[in-house]
Amino acid sequence: MSSAAGPQVPNVRGPVAFDALPGALRNVAYSAARHPGAGPPECPSHPAGPAAGTAAPPDLAGGANCQRYAYAVLAHFGLRVPPLRSAELWADRAATRRAAPPEPLDLVLFDAGPLAGGPEGYGAHVGVHLGPDRVLHLCREVGRPAVWGYADFAARARYARFLGAKRVVPDGFREG
């Protein structure tokens, strides 16, 4: 970890970075019902996350979808994201900004291409860029967090298009 002030970015990449996460972030079950904005009983709208370096929010015990999981990973490193679904995240300019190329702890979005009648990013899959060719994500196919390369996403029709990356703006979101 860096000793600089502000969010602490891991200095290890790929599977090593995954192995360094607390067990609560390595053992999350996939649940499509547990997405940002879902109401009780599935999950509260956006519970207060942990301080950097502490355990994952307790609401992940019941599972998460890709966005909720990615946001919990970023919260572990002190980066907060509002409870945005994928299209909202892609359009957001207050708490995030587009980033190219992706850097560690940027959110990355994948989809099957534009959806007729839907906004850009609708239904996109969200992961966390860990480093060159490494993305940490949670998907239905695997059922638990996994680290894939970009070619692994491209080989699946539903993730074939890399939509882009979003970087959390420090202090861009404050929980009320």
Q: Containing domain of residue 129, as a range?
A: 14-168
CATH number at residue 66: 3.90.1720
Q: Has residue 4 been placed in a domain?
A: no
What are the tens digits of pLDDT across the range 64-114? 999 999 999 999 888 999 989 999 999 999 999 999 999 999 999 999 988
Q: Has residue 9 been placed in a domain?
A: no
Separation between Cα atoms, residue 19 and residue 153, nearest integer Å: 21
What are the tens digits of pLDDT across the range 129-155? 998 899 999 999 999 999 999 999 999
Q: Has residue 40 been placed in a domain?
A: yes
Domain count, the chain: 1
